[in-house]
Amino acid sequence: MIKRLIRRVLGLPAEVRVPRGQHELTRDAISPATARVCAALRAAGFSGYVVGGAVRDLLLGITPQDFDVATDARPEQVRPLFRRAIIIGRRFRLVHVMLGAETIEVSTFRAADPETAEKDEHGRVLRDNVFGTQEEDARRRDFSVNALYFDPQTEEVVDFHGGLADLKKRVLRVIGDPETRYREDPIRMLRAVRLAAKLGLTLDPATREPIRALAPLLERVPPARLFDEMLKLLLSGHASACLRQLRDVGLHKGVLPLLDVILEQPLGERFVTLALAQTDERVLAERPVSPAFLFAALLWHEVLAAWKARQARGERAMPALEAAMDDVLETQCAKLAITRKLTATMREVWAMQPRFEQRSGHRAYRLVEAARFRMAYDFLALRAASGEVPAELEAWWRAFQSADPETRKAMLLPETGPRKRRRRRRKKRPAEAASQPA
């Protein structure tokens, strides 16, 4: 009682240990490997809690993708407790404990001292590699629903910031002053949108209000970090809802500079909406998804507009398409560090689209045998579903790729226009051949 009164006088959050009877989370819900890690830490005299997104998801009835453990033990104290464990990280050291096929990330409680943390001129934290207490660790986490700790031994949930109450109200709330927290790490604005859409939560008014004004801070985030967070958002299984939320809070221009232009075009909006819906469907069904295909779909109508503009100025079709792709990717990669491997695949898919118009001679056979044909055909099917190209074109290629050789030959369209005669190479006479240098 006295401890709680002191905390209230000092303005500190009240530690709430919620017993098993007041929540539905049990130790059986966590993975056996996670339980073993927590038990080993406790046996060595340290604390061991399941923390973060895993606790949040379990309380919402969602199966976590992985489990993280937080402890008061330092990394060099954690590693000797396990046969297969390595210390990783530069900015903040972590321990990866490998038990069977599972890898458990064990982190030491971190401090949240805004006075000692190294920041840039806009308030973004650059370095805060300081160990701390569990209370400090909870305070430095981004959202209240992510600052929950589950003790497998007692089956209690430790809650410093009202995360359990927020989960019950289906609200996502930033811990501390939202503007300060967003300035410390602008990526938190994207995470707020992604988590709210993924978990079906409503952004708390105070959490939502500063986002539009602080959106320009994303321009100072390293492109690689921005790309990673954008990829998580698009592959969350709720990409459609995430992008709608991005527009609602005013973040879309800071993430994909061309996305607002695409969505203002009726044809482009239908195309992007279909692409996102298909991606969400595949993710939720646990089927593989190609990030290259998704980014190609998001940027296709900007490529298409630039391509048509160049052709209108008299440029030839394929060189104009190549130049249009260069322009769009240069603009995007300046903000998002889209990897070269992805952009190479995107270019192949885009470049193959005009070739689908060629359904005569050997060109159709060569296209079907191309390495990226299947992805390019799926892209064509998406264009047909959105009304961009005739449905008959997609149906022809769908039938052609699965037909037998005789049927394929019968399906080919007749050649149109004059055929170019190939010039036969003139054979050299023996005297001429002898005079040529070796």
Judged against a pLDDT cut of 70, whether residue 420 lies above it is answered with no
| pLDDT value at 163 more than 60 | yes
> In degrees to the nearest 10, what's the CA dihedral of 251, 257, 260, 263?
-120
Instruction: Tell whether the model's pLDDT for residue 199 goes beyond 60.
Output: yes
Instruction: Say if 411 falls within a structural domain.
Output: no
With respect to residue 223, please indicate whether it lies within any of the assigned structural domains.
no
**C-alpha–C-alpha distance, residues 170 and 138, integer Å:** 20
The model carries a pTM of: 0.77
Q: How far apart are CA 185 and CA 336, in angstroms?
A: 17
Residue 317 domain-assigned (yes or no): no
What CATH code is carried by the domain that includes residue 106? Answer: 3.30.460.10
Q: Mean pLDDT over all residues of the chain?
A: 86
- pLDDT range class, residue 12, cuts 50, 70, 90: very low
**Whether the Cβ atoms of residue 305 and residue 320 lie closer than 8 Å to each other:** no
Q: Which residues are catalytic?
A: 66, 68, 142
Whether 248 is in a domain gets the answer no
In a domain? residue 76: yes
Tell me if 122 is assigned to some domain: yes
The CA-based diameter of the chain, rounded to the nearest angstrom, is 110
The domain of 106 spans 1-169
Q: Cα(117)–Cα(130) distance, rounded to whole angstroms?
A: 9
The Cα–Cα gap between 368 and 193 comes to: 41
pLDDT tens digits for 242-290? 888 888 888 877 666 656 666 666 667 889 889 999 999 999 898 999 9
pLDDT tens profile 380-399: 999 999 999 999 999 999 99
Structure confidence at residue 11 (pLDDT):
46
Residue 148 one-letter amino acid: L
Q: What is the pLDDT of residue 337?
A: 82
User: Does 194 fall in a domain?
Assistant: no
Cβ-in-10-Å burial (0-12, 13-18, 19+) of 434 comes to exposed
Domain for residue 390, yes or no? Answer: no
**Band (357; pLDDT cuts 50, 70, 90):** very high
Evaluate if residue 304 carries a pLDDT over 50: yes
DSSP for 376-435 reads: HHHHHHHHHHTTSS-HHHHHHHHHHHHS-HHHHHHHPPPP-SPPPPPPPPPPPPHHHHHH
pLDDT at 92: 80
Q: What is the pLDDT of residues 115-162, one digit of tens each?
A: 555 555 555 555 556 889 999 999 989 999 999 999 999 999 999 999
Structural domain total, the chain: 1
